[in-house]
Amino acid sequence: MRAVVQRVARASVTVDGEVVGAIDRPGLVALVGVTPGDGPAQVELVARKIADLRILRGELSATDAGAPVLVVSQFTLYGDTRKGRRPTWNAAAPGPVAEPLVDAVVDALRARGLEVATGRFGADMQVELVNDGPVTLLVESDPAAG
């Protein structure tokens, strides 16, 4: 599992002209990608990292600051661009595998007391954000380590 985590001033996700998820104060955006070998151990690791990374102003974590998180599914995080000009998506989990795991990350963050907004799985989403800093980090879990 991979997550690109960005510190933001605000962010939103729009689908077909409708805002489906938004945070209107400083927090985090987490773009989450899943690979077929991922499971509960990877969900827990990624959720813990998103919640506890001390990357907000004052070296606070989202947990410390009570900051919101916007989670957006992002299968393209597993795009392979090593050959040619067209990425391959072989390492990305198919929707029926990925969707429940992205939902589990959301649930795990909420279980930690965080306010979580989401995009819409599988939709053509427009993500708007104001990156604060900018601060952007890659969080990865090893499916074999679970």
Residues with catalytic function = 74-76
3 CB neighbour count, 10 Å cutoff: 28
Is 49 in contact with 3 (CB distance < 8 Å)? yes
Is 55 in contact with 4 (CB distance < 8 Å)? no
Task: Measure the CA–CA gap between 99 and 93, rounded to whole angstroms.
Answer: 9
At 16, which amino acid appears? D
What is the DSSP-derived secondary structure letter of residue 65?
H
Cα angle, residue 51 at apex, residues 17 and 68 outer, rounded to 5°: 35
Tell the residue number behind the tokens 């813990």, with chain if given.
48
